Structure 1
Amino acid sequence: MKSHEIQACSFSEWYPLFKKVTFPSKIIPLTQEFVDYLLADNLVLRSDQALLTYSRDDSNSSDSEDDEEGWAKAESETPALEAPHFEDIDKEITTAIAEFGGKAFIKLNWSSPKDAAWIALNNSLQCHMSADVHLLLKSSDFILHDLTEPFKECEDQNVNQTPVKYNLVLRKWVEINPVNEFRCFVQNKNLIGISQRDDTQFSPFIEKEKEDIVRDIVSFFKEQIRPKFHLDNYVMDVFRQRKDKIVLIDFNPYGVITDSLLFDWNEDLLQISDTSETTSPSDCASATPDFRFIPEESGIRSNPLRRYCVPEDIAHLTSGEDPFKLMDLLKLRSGTQEDNADSD
């Protein structure tokens, strides 16, 4: 995977080419000052009612009393803190949300803050004012990845690169049934695989309409995407609004940085063949992509985003990422049991 492939999947790069087949969107260039604000630890939001202050360092506390003390301390310090002012950007956000009917979906160049949806009052990425935008962006690890290491998996990450120009993207809010979203894998300009986008739930209608789903997506790809998108290898997300109606959602890099869902990046199907053996699009005009979906309820997976809703220590324990924490927990439990035995 090369850095130019990551750049090509940046929203501002592809949106002008595909405006007619995707959701209406507004691109707002971000100043370095605003980027620095997103990277800073403290979160200070100004609303019409109050000034809210929170620190990332406080978010990992597992003791409720400590949490209450932290919030009390933050509130007591509020008068001494000044919320950052980004009048021009906030004005553009407000205008865009109004143009989209009072609701908007947000993202940066590549990622949306979907890991932070739990912190919003409506538990979604639906934004009604600039404070909603600030809260989600500041609370998201996905956004932090965009800002700090977008080229981490690239072969040429240490080669001279043009500095990233960050943008805030507001998109018209559209109610989407997750079972109608699909992730498509394009290799050497050929559509080779389609995966159910939400791999956490079983949907009977997919089995019933699988042939129509594949036919609609293949037609959309050949007519609207392949002639215009210049990359040979990429991943795209689409929404099947109804029969014969496909809407483009996003483009993603072809590689481990993108979730392969019901596929596996190590399997032969997704391996890019040597350039000398590359198959041209015309050679595969009649090839049918491999379509994968949850065929029965027993195949349902847990939602990977849930781990962002619990303290980091607990997430590490359940995933086995930090064996030392597990050892400490076992020692603590052993000591508790010994104390109980002594008291008996």
Structure 2
Amino acid sequence: MVNNVQAECSFTSWYPHFSKDSLEAIILPLPDKILKYLEHDAFVLPVEATKNVECTAGWSDGSTVFPDSSEDPEFEPPTFPEFSKKIQEAIDDFGAAFIKSNWSTPSDATWVAPTKTLKCTSLEDVYLLLKSSDRISNDLNMIRNWSDNKNAVSSCLVLKRWREINPCTEFRCFVMNNELIGICQRDLSQYYTHIESEKYSIQRDITTIFNERIKERFKLENYSFDVIRYKKDKVKIIDFGPMDESVTKGSLFTYQELQNEIENTPEFRFIAEDVGVQPKTAQHFCVPQEINEFFQSRGEMSMMDALREEVENQGRVQNEEDSD
């Protein structure tokens, strides 16, 4: 049976009803062949995501960086021309895109991206993040386990126009029994002076969008939602989530506190002084130590360039050993 909470919090479920109050997004359903590609253990990028590299890059012996399927009949690099075209059109339209699946962003895979962020300016960026992320894989597995249920959601790729969001404008909100009971600063790694000075207007703006645009329209009674309040009277919905310990972890509320009915609602919690800040959650997503040390030794070099250099070095050593 499909978990109703997870289903309602899927981007495909809520975005059509709240698109006017959210950041612009494009939803691309994931075809079966893309799902099989993402679930497969082999790490190889689609042809269309590497063709620009193939045209210009080569190994030290003059051969191309990526294998030619005509030379190896057993090797058939994947290709998804129609799906990749839709991604490219979105990137061209947006200039740069932020990506996620039904629920999760591939934030655990940003170490593979040239910018070390979720900013995608090419097909290579998109496929690298999708293929490297356990968070995306977990979303796909969840949906696959629902495959026999007629009401199950479908896997999707969400692309949003990339924008630099100041973390001090992000807030997580908690709803119990259709009432907004808590608002919390999202980035607990910093003390932001403007939050203290604007706390009443921030609280008022978020309460307004909840009462006027969210309450009674979202299908669950207990849930969380994230917003950005980028200027006075301007609040946008970022996402919806469940109301449980997973969404209170790393916040200034505990799940137990929210369950025990906070008296003066909504209570707004934020870091009010420059002490006791916590590490950013994203900093805990990292590559294994050995690989991390490998890339650190390459300085500013991108992951792809570092891997090419390492393969060349190994080939050079092997040739020297053979000659000896």
Residue 195 of structure 2 corresponds to residue 206 of structure 1:
yes
Percent of pairs with identical residues: 42
Could you say which residue in structure 2 is the equivalent of 1:25?
25
1:87/1:77 CA distance change after superposition, 3 Å: closer
Could you say which residue in structure 2 is the equivalent of 1:167?
156
Residue 205 of structure 2 corresponds to residue 216 of structure 1:
yes
State the 1:295 CA deviation.
2.0
- Code of the aligned partner of 1:146: D
Could you say which residue in structure 1 is the equivalent of 2:132?
139
Normalised by the length of structure 2, the TM-score is 0.76
- The DSSP-based 3-state class of the residue aligned with 1:135 is helix
- Code of the aligned partner of 2:281: P
State the 1:297 CA deviation.
2.4
State the 1:166 CA deviation.
0.3
Q: In the alignment, which of 302, 306, 322 is matched to residue 283 of structure 2?
A: 306
1:268/1:253 CA distance change after superposition, 3 Å: same
- Code of the aligned partner of 1:120: A
Normalised by the length of structure 1, the TM-score is 0.72
Gapped regions of structure 1 (runs ≥ 5): 52-74, 274-283, 316-344
Q: For the residues of structure 2 that align with 1:34 and 1:82, how far apart are their CA atoms?
A: 15
State the 1:210 CA deviation.
0.9
Question: Could you list the per-position Cα deviations for residues 231-274 of structure 1 after superposition, in whole angstroms to 9, with x for gaps in the alignment?
Answer: 1011100000101110111111112343543245442323589x
State the 1:117 CA deviation.
1.7
State the 1:294 CA deviation.
1.8
Q: For the residues of structure 2 that align with 1:50 and 1:204, how far apart are their CA atoms?
A: 46
**Structure 2 counterparts to residues 15-54 of structure 1, below 5 A:** 15-45=15-45, 46=47, 47-50=50-53
Q: In the alignment, which of 120, 127, 130 is matched to residue 113 of structure 2?
A: 120
- The DSSP-based 3-state class of the residue aligned with 1:110 is coil
Gapped regions of structure 2 (runs ≥ 5): 55-63, 293-324
Q: For the residues of structure 2 that align with 1:185 and 1:236, how far apart are their CA atoms?
A: 7
- The DSSP-based 3-state class of the residue aligned with 1:267 is helix
State the 1:16 CA deviation.
1.0
- The DSSP-based 3-state class of the residue aligned with 2:83 is helix
1:136/1:265 CA distance change after superposition, 3 Å: same
The answer to whether the 8 A contact 2:244-2:255 is kept is: no
The answer to whether the 8 A contact 2:99-2:118 is kept is: yes
The answer to whether the 8 A contact 2:10-2:153 is kept is: no
Q: For the residues of structure 2 that align with 1:308 and 1:128, how far apart are their CA atoms?
A: 22
Q: In the alignment, which of 227, 244, 268 is matched to residue 255 of structure 1?
A: 244
Could you say which residue in structure 2 is the equivalent of 1:323?
none
- The DSSP-based 3-state class of the residue aligned with 2:225 is strand
Q: For the residues of structure 2 that align with 1:149 and 1:244, how far apart are their CA atoms?
A: 37
Q: For the residues of structure 1 that align with 2:107 and 2:149, how far apart are their CA atoms?
A: 31
Q: In the alignment, which of 230, 234, 250 is matched to residue 245 of structure 1?
A: 234
Moved more, 121-130 or 304-313: 304-313
Residue 132 of structure 2 corresponds to residue 129 of structure 1:
no
State the 1:131 CA deviation.
1.7
The answer to whether the 8 A contact 2:143-2:152 is kept is: no
- Code of the aligned partner of 1:50: V
The answer to whether the 8 A contact 2:170-2:229 is kept is: yes
Aligned residues: 276
- Code of the aligned partner of 1:31: P
